[in-house]
Amino acid sequence: MEKVAIVILNWNGQQMLEKYLPSVLQYSRDEATVYVADNASTDDSIELLRTHYPQVELVLLDKNWGFAEGYNKALSQIDAEYYLLLNSDIEVTHHWLTPLIEYMDAHQDTAACQPKLLSIFDKDRFEYAGASGGFLDKYGYPFCRGRIFETVEADNGQYDDVADILWATGAALMIRSKDFWEVKGFDGRFFAHNEEIDMCWRLRIKGRRIVCIPDSYVYHVGGGTLPKGNPMKTYLNFRNNLTMLYKCLPDEQLNHVMRWRWFLDYLAAWQTLLMNRNFGDFKAIYRARKAFKAWKKDFKADRREIQKWRRVEKIPEQKDFSLLWQYYAKGRKLFSALPQ
């Protein structure tokens, strides 16, 4: 068994691999084996790797399985103590792996961790996808140390402490292989978006810790596959977020939260249409609500099993407040300003 396997999931990402894979090889080769798992790309990704990067191990999948199931299928073929899932649009830094490995080795109660995620375009600012670790509010809205909705903070060292979080970003996620498979990996039905939050939440329900380790930091492009404002991204985010809530919320919260989400989701749809003139996202939210209603029954067994796993009744990283109320009504746009 290897110690660390860095696994980059690729689909038609030749340009990203050309630009950012060299930093991964330069700063990781002494501590990990680098894999590229390819979701049946139709560009020249595989030719690039075979010609210029023969030291990279290839896992070739038979079709585009998406992020969630693509990783499930690829990781099932890799024997390592730690998987490090890494987006192809990540630039890593010198000594980035060591703090992650050392922390995981020293803290057996920790299932997964992430480095600090900074923007490749403004290296003194957090990056939207994970910043310095993720949380959820009471209605399932994700936010991070360093990012709430559209407000992304400058990194002034204010979140440089190791912190327990609810979810670690899938852009750069280190996880024990044992923990990954004990919760059955990602939910492949999600295809993409919210799958890492869903998996990390299941780990927290089992009493396992998720942490951010800011001594390690990387730079992320972000939005490379489905850019912000894409209706498909909106659809997947809403559908998968509702499904995650249905699976993971405790019985005493489920009905209350789902009633509020019905109201808040349709409010978001109409706000998108009337204020932003965005008919694509308006339709995407309605489609997502309809899709969730149609496939909800398929997750009843998942919900029963997950609730049986419960070792933590109250997860501190799932906050009791409404993020919408804090952000829009009270004007609290920084993580440090939220109720602690």
76-124 tens-digit pLDDT: 999 999 999 999 999 999 999 999 999 999 999 999 999 999 999 999 9
Every domain range in the chain assigned CATH 3.90.550.10? 2-220
Kindly report, residue by residue over 174-221, the tens digit of the pLDDT. 999 999 999 999 999 999 999 999 999 999 999 999 999 999 999 999
pTM: 0.95
Q: How far apart are CA 147 and CA 143, in angstroms?
A: 6
What lies within 8 Å, CB to CB, of 37 at 6+ separation is 7, 8, 9, 10, 58, 59, 61, 70, 71, 73, 74
Residue from 170, 179, 132, 186 nearest 154 by CA: 132
Q: What is the mean pLDDT of residues 277-288?
A: 95
Kindly indicate the confidence band of residue 228, based on its pLDDT and cuts at 50, 70 and 90. low
Question: What distance, in Å, lies between the first and last C-alpha atoms of the chain?
Answer: 41
The confidence score (pLDDT) of residue 276 equals 84
The amino acid at 246:
Y
Place of tokens 């299941």: 202
Paired strand residues for 33: 5
Kindly indicate the confidence band of residue 226, based on its pLDDT and cuts at 50, 70 and 90. very low
Q: Which CATH architecture has domain 2-220?
A: Alpha-Beta Complex (3.90)
